Amino acid sequence: MSFPWAREYQPTNGLMKFLDEKLPLPRLIYGAIGAGYPVPRNLSYMWNFGVLAGFCLVMQIITGVVLAMHYAPNALVAFATTEHIMRDVNWGWLMRYAHANGASFFFVVVYLHIFRGFFYSSYKAPREMIWLLGVVIFLLMMATAFMGYVLPWGQMSFWGAKVITGLFGAIPLVGEPIQVWLLGGFAPDNAALNRFFSLHFLLPFVIAGVVILHIWALHIPGSSNPTGVEIKTEADTLPFHPYYTAKDGFGLGVFLLFFLGMVFFLPNFLGHPDNYIEANPLSTPAHIVPEWYFWPFYAILRAFTIDFFFIPAKLMGVLAMFAAILVWFFLPWLDKSPVRSGHYRPLFRIFFWILVVDMAVLFWLGGAAAEEPYVMFSQLATAYYFLHFLVILPIVSSIEKPKPLPYSITESVLGSDKDTAPAAAN
Amino acid sequence: MIRLFGILTGLFFAVAVLWSFGNGAFVAATEGLGEATAEKVFYEHPEELDLPSNGVFGTFDEAQLQRGYQVYKEVCSACHSLKFVAFRDLAQLGYDEGQIKAEAASFQVPGIDPATGEATTRPGLATDYFPSPYPNTVAAAAANNNAIPPDLSLITKARHDGSAYVHSLLTGYSEPPAELTQQFPNFTTPPGLNYNRYFPNLNIAMAPPLALDGQVTYGEGNPEPTVDQMATDVAAFLTWTAEPTLVKRRQTGFAVLGFVLFATILAYFAKQQVWAAVKPKKAAKAKD
């Protein structure tokens, strides 16, 4: 990789030598997540979530493939086959609860991963490409999760599909033909269910592909770290294995305790009761809400209640909802502060925590009924969301006076860096 | 350049959403935050229901499930189907093979006449699922004043507060309270509907199914079949129908969590040991 001191793979036995000559797969693994990848020595537990997200993806694919063996994507029997999995398939209930809660926990760790990136400005040069690919992964995850939620063909599946595909109907002129084309009909039915199943099976593998690019791009500059100071010497780094494999192993254990606690003791807590009612096109639920991980963006979608001059309210909401995620693509160029870590950016740090609160408020309001005063709160929270990324961040990054940075990662960990620091005071 | 464009875009969205906010605030200031309705004021959340299956250590009480099944069979099944439950599942309630066969045979299920090939009915087998009381939804609607009685298999998972909702709803029938008619003179319970304070819009199509104590005759050694007792028992039964694997799930959970906890503790010590050599020594750090 890019560090001259990165250890090189040395095959130790004949089989590995043979493999290394013909297909250097062990070498690839060694360099990617083995002792051949030097990582900053000061990573905190906030750096565990990438590995956890990878674990979630693998777990979702495995449980999902098993579920697909027993599920039938047909509007007549989809709900019944889901119950068949819950009742008659050996350990089917475990597979389904693990898959449904696995989606939620995938989003939990990815949101933490993203907010880690916000705080430590992980998106800044030279890591822009990692960030851009990360946002692509997030968008793909949203599409996959949305289509997966439709498959059990409960009331929220059906009405969620109707509302979300209805968003495309807001596009001027071509909106309605696009909506009909996407659904394969005028309302969600067998055609929609079939294509959603097909795409829900496909997209996780597309995600896996982009994850490989994400990790590849990460290995060019190497991992960021809590000080935001770049690696200077070998003393600043530790090999990924065994140091971070051990740390991630412990992190994975803690994650599993939370995740399995949910699966075995509160498996329906994050779901909606209406999805245990079979889809009925003639009966609209009182409140249509998506899964919790979409709530902030759903709150933004619903915040636009009246037309803005010639732009219809619905179109405005759709534009804002997509813009709320697309704005993340521009972060590397909106935040021009030369300092990465929020620890050394006093003003930025305040606004970061306001953003966290704002996001939490949007979470709450996205799940609340579309009634006053919730709608007014969500309008204020939406306004702050856009102002934060597009106005506050660029301004703060140019007027802020950052605190002094440590000379090196080693100095921040040990208190001094005798090997490389220029003649220090002591 | 990109930042200038960004600031303009940000202001555009902020102004547009504040435009909506201003409108909403103006409406709220001039017209208030929506009127109180009878549904908002008099609807009540279900009362807590203490079932043996509640809590992480909860288990099903077979005798109670059998009583609940009896209530379902003698009362609910007249209108409500239970389509995801098979007669063979009754083994989990403590019935033996002969009893299950007899239970199945006491229901008529759709079949085909082997002589003529015409649609007919036949006594149920253990492998059959509970049959619907109506041939189709049109018949169900026609027989019930246009309200289709929902399937009960998943009802405790398909409603907030599950079993508590079922119990409260079954015991929540009354005349509309006097305060309600005073406060909302326009509120009526149309003919064919019934007032129930636990139903979201207060008027439910289902007539009170459990009206009399002793409506179902329980066998020797069981509690008195009061309306409350019958409602509790059928709520317990429907908790089981919604998730027959409930108890197994929790028992598996304890074993799995115990194992993962042990593995996590080991992983913690492994991590400590691996990192011991490169962790900064506290004493050395203090000296610097």
C-alpha separations of A410 from A38, A43, A230 in Å: 14, 12, 11
Chain B residues lying within 8 Å of A250, measured CB to CB: 264, 267-268, 270-271
Q: Is the ipTM of this complex over 0.90?
A: yes
Distance from C-alpha of B59 to C-alpha of B245, rounded to nearest angstrom? 11
In a domain, A295, yes or no: no
Query: Closest to A386 (Cβ–Cβ): which among B10, B160, B274?
Result: B10
pLDDT at A320 over 60: yes
Query: Closest to A304 (Cβ–Cβ): which among B6, B16, B288?
Result: B16
pLDDT at A424 over 80: no
- What CATH number does the domain containing A124 carry? 1.20.810.10
pLDDT of residue A425: 42
- E strands in A28-157: 38-40
pLDDT of residue A130: 97
Amino acid at B124: G
pLDDT at B283 over 60: no
What secondary structure letter does DSSP report for A34? S
Report CB contact under 8 Å: B34, A330.
no
Count the domains in chain A.
Answer: 1
In a domain, A284, yes or no: no
Q: What residues of B are designated binding site for heme c?
A: 76, 79-80, 206
pLDDT of residue B281: 61
In a domain, A421, yes or no: no
Mean pLDDT rounded to a whole number for chain A: 93
Is residue B55 within 8 A of residue B163, CB to CB? The reply is no
Q: Is A84 annotated as a binding residue?
A: no
Give the mean pLDDT of B59-83.
Answer: 95
Per-residue confidence band for A420, with pLDDT thresholds at 50, 70 and 90: low
In a domain, A29, yes or no: no
In a domain, A297, yes or no: no
Give the mean pLDDT of B169-195.
Answer: 90
Mean pLDDT rounded to a whole number for chain B: 92
pLDDT at A74 over 70: yes
Minimum distance, in Å, between the CA of residue B238 and any CA atom of chain A: 14
In a domain, A7, yes or no: no
Per-residue confidence band for A426, with pLDDT thresholds at 50, 70 and 90: very low
Distance from C-alpha of B151 to C-alpha of A416, rounded to nearest angstrom? 71
C-alpha A157: how far from its chain's center? 22
CATH number of B38-85+129-244: 1.10.760.10
Report CB contact under 8 Å: B21, A380.
yes
Would an 8 Å CB–CB cutoff place B25 in contact with chain A? yes
Report CB contact under 8 Å: A320, B252.
no
Closest by CA to B48, choosing from B210, B244, B177, B232, is: B232
Per-residue confidence band for B282, with pLDDT thresholds at 50, 70 and 90: low
Domains of chain B, residue spans:
38-85+129-244, 248-276
Give the mean pLDDT of B15-39.
Answer: 87
The string of pLDDT tens digits covering residues A174-213 is 999 999 999 999 999 999 999 999 999 999 999 999 999 9
For residue B245, count other CB atoms closer than 10 A to its CB. Answer: 17
In a domain, A106, yes or no: yes
The string of pLDDT tens digits covering residues A244-277 is 999 999 999 999 999 999 999 999 999 999 999 9
Give the catalytic positions of A in this structure: 219, 223, 247-248, 291
In a domain, A353, yes or no: yes
In terms of C-beta density within 10 A (0-12 exposed, 13-18 middle, 19 or more buried), how is residue A229 classed? buried
pLDDT of residue A2: 66
Report CB contact under 8 Å: B260, A273.
no
The string of pLDDT tens digits covering residues A368-397 is 888 888 999 999 999 999 999 999 999 999
pTM as predicted = 0.94
Range from A244-253, A307-316, A357-366 carrying the lowest mean pLDDT: A307-316
Give the mean pLDDT of A325-340.
Answer: 94
The domain in which residue A314 lies consists of: 36-271+309-413
